[in-house]
């Protein structure tokens, strides 16, 4: 059984590495696109810089997912079954996703305003979906907190696991 769990840790480490590589590639593409747009200087180039910011937001999401997978599955070897662990794991993920979606909504809005107003509904749907996701996450955290109070030992264990990272 230990060999089986070690194989899962290895696969999780590989996935985290691939997410990290994807983040580095996105950063590289965004830096190149932003630099090329900066050199020309115009309204279309400003839009290209804003799109580069959107790529950087995607890179942050990929990097955060890599870090979360590595810390939770490889370093901590955490069992995602206790309410505390579920809330902490999902909160780390959702904070980045919500911020990235909000940035993407702003990028889409900027692009729609300057290129084609028919795409404004698409941008608004991104912003609305982000707001719904944020509200749902808040509801989840509120309900999960009640479950955590029933298992105070799970919170203590999660705090002990944090010591592995320091």
Looking at per-residue pLDDT, the higher value among 133 and 164 belongs to 133
Q: What pLDDT sits at residue 11?
A: 92
Q: How many domains does the chain have?
A: 1
The runs of H, that is alpha helices, within 41-119 are: 43-69, 83-114
124, 129, 132, 134: CA torsion to nearest 10 = -100
pLDDT for 34 equals 87
At 32 the pLDDT is: 92
What's the confidence (pLDDT) of residue 27?
96
What does the pLDDT read at residue 94? 84
Q: Per-residue pLDDT tens for 103-154?
A: 889 888 988 888 888 999 999 999 999 999 999 988 888 887 776 676 666 6
Q: What integer is the mean pLDDT of 11-15?
A: 93
pTM flag (> 0.85): no
Within 8 A by CB and 6+ apart from 57, the residues are 99, 100, 103, 104, 107
Q: Say what the pLDDT of residue 88 is.
A: 76
The string of pLDDT tens digits covering residues 18-46 is 999 999 999 999 999 888 887 766 666 77
* Domain extent for 81: 2-165
pLDDT at 6 over 80: yes
């Amino acid at each position: 059984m230990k060999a089986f769990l070690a194989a899962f840790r290895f696969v999780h480490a590989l996935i985290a590495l691939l997410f990290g590589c994807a983040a580095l590639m996105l950063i590289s593409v965004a830096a190149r696109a932003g630099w090329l747009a900066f050199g020309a200087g115009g309204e279309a180039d400003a839009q290209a810089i804003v799109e580069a910011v959107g790529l950087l937001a995607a890179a942050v999401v990929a990097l955060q997912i890599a870090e979360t997978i590595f810390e939770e599955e490889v370093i901590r070897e955490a069992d995602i079954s206790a309410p505390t662990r579920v809330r902490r794991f999902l909160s780390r993920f959702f904070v980045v996703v919500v911020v990235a979606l909000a940035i993407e909504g702003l990028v889409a809005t900027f692009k729609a305003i300057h290129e084609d107003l028919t795409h404004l509904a698409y941008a608004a749907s991104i912003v609305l979906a982000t707001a719904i996701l944020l509200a749902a996450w808040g509801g989840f955290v509120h309900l999960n907190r009640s479950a955590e109070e029933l298992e105070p030992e799970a919170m203590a264990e999660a705090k002990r696991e944090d010591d592995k990272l320091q």
